[in-house]
Chains A and B, each alone.
Chain A
């Protein structure tokens, strides 16, 4: 059952990711990205990371993607124009990328020490309680710095996107 769920979600994630790259219209790419994020949330749940799964759905699938789709619709972004691509990229792009992924898979299989097999429910460490305990003790300083970062991002976004008033 776990393996079946993993395989279904992995196929959906990879299919949506490839669709993101191949679609010509930004809104199709955005909807594919939502599919990737949803299936990744299920994979996080399988790994026992329930807080991260929910944060993935709320922050990525909700907030960030709404922002993307809002900007796409605001700018009325249509189908992108194709332009001339270099002959090297057309010939060698896909083989080089496949070689890169194959190299990573080889390293994962050979170099890493023996890995635990994943079984749903065998380790549930990622509860909101455990993450909150760690976030507000050991990682308190990074957490506070993050709040300053968010404040800077808000001010920056407002300053960048404001309309000049005559």
Chain B
């Protein structure tokens, strides 16, 4: 039976978070940007659960659970907004939806 250092989990979480930032900044499709946000939330959840293991308390699990619930609500509202934007403008490109720009 091998032991895994807990820091590996935290570093994996950091790598996933960084990949999420890259997708958020780099991609031009609204849906993919939204999926990158979900990836970042997942990375944070992983570090919550890892710290929960370190402290041997399950409060971190509860926070992780709340993050999941909020992410589900956010996905429902966000995808409804994407539907509305597509209905009004006929595009999903993020740089073509710029009427709020000065």
Contact = CB atoms under 8 A, between A and B. Distances in A.
A2 B29 contact: no
Contacts of B58: 125-126, 130-131, 134
Contacts of B19: 14, 17-18, 20-21
A134 B52 CA distance: 14
Contact of B93 (A75, A83, A154): A83
B73 A125 contact: no
A17 B26 CA distance: 14
A8 interface: no
Interface string B1-39: 111111111111011111111110111110110111011
A85 to B, nearest CB: 8
B54 A160 contact: no
Main secondary structure of the interface of A (DSSP, over half): helix
Highest count of chain B CB atoms <10 Å: which of A83, A152, A160: A160
Contacts of B66: 142, 146
Interface in A123-166: 123, 125-126, 130-131, 134-135, 139, 142, 146, 149-150, 152-154, 156-158, 160-161
Contacts of A83: 28, 93, 95
Task: Bin chain A's interface residue count.
Answer: 35 or more
Contacts of A116: 6, 53-54
A87 to B, nearest CB: 14
A117 B76 contact: no
Contact of B18 (A46, A89, A101): A101
A63 B27 CA distance: 24
Interface in B71-90: 71-77, 79-84, 86
Contacts of B57: 125
A108 B1 CA distance: 25
B18 A36 contact: no
Interface string A74-115: 110100111100000100011001001100110011001001
Nearest to B69: A146
A117 B4 contact: yes
Contacts of B81: 160
B53 A157 contact: no
11 contacts: A10-B12, A40-B46, A81-B28, A89-B25, A105-B11, A109-B7, A119-B1, A153-B73, A153-B74, A156-B80, A160-B80
Question: A-B pairs with the 5 shortest C-beta distances?
Answer: A3-B2, A153-B73, A117-B3, A115-B6, A160-B80
